[in-house]
Amino acid sequence: MSEQPVTGQSGDPILDAGGQAERTRLSWNRTGLALAVNAALLVHVGGGSLAEHVPAMLMLLVALGCFLFAGRRYHTINAAVRSDRAVAGIAHVRTLALLSVVPAVIALVAVLG
């Protein structure tokens, strides 16, 4: 069951009570940073040809997607809480899990190759 919105002294609902949406946004941002660090590492170990930088580029794209998604997710959560809708983002969690397994596979191929 969803919680009732937290209200301030004036009786108006408080936006993002407890900083839930903000903490989730920062968590997505930290994950984006971790992805960017991995991309930088793959660029460092990659060779001279463009093909050898494909894993790094893929990782960088996922990192970029993570950063962009973080902002969008913040507003989605606030809107969902205001209108008493569910906040669980099933599709994006599944996508991120998949996109995290794929770079691991690519890194494995890059290391063994």
Residue 24 engages another protein in binding (rule: CB under 8 A): yes
DSSP string, the chain: -PPPPPB-TTSPBPTTGGGHHHHHHHHHHHHHHHHHHHHHHHHHH--SSSGGGHHHHHHHHHHHHHHHHHHHHHHHHHHHHHTT-----HHHHHHHHHHHHHHHHHHHHHHH-
Instruction: For the chain, report the end-to-end CA distance as a whole number of angstroms.
Output: 51
Task: Among 9, 10, 50, 111, indicate the residue that binds another protein (CB under 8 A).
Answer: 111
Least distance from another protein to the Cβ atom of residue 97, Å = 3
Least distance from another protein to the Cβ atom of residue 94, Å = 6
Residue 79 engages another protein in binding (rule: CB under 8 A): no
Task: Among 7, 13, 14, 37, indicate the residue that binds another protein (CB under 8 A).
Answer: 37
Q: What residues line the site for another protein (CB under 8 A)?
A: 1-3, 18, 20-21, 23-24, 27-28, 30-31, 34-35, 37-38, 41-42, 44-45, 77, 80-81, 85-90, 93-94, 96-98, 100-101, 103-105, 107-108, 110-112
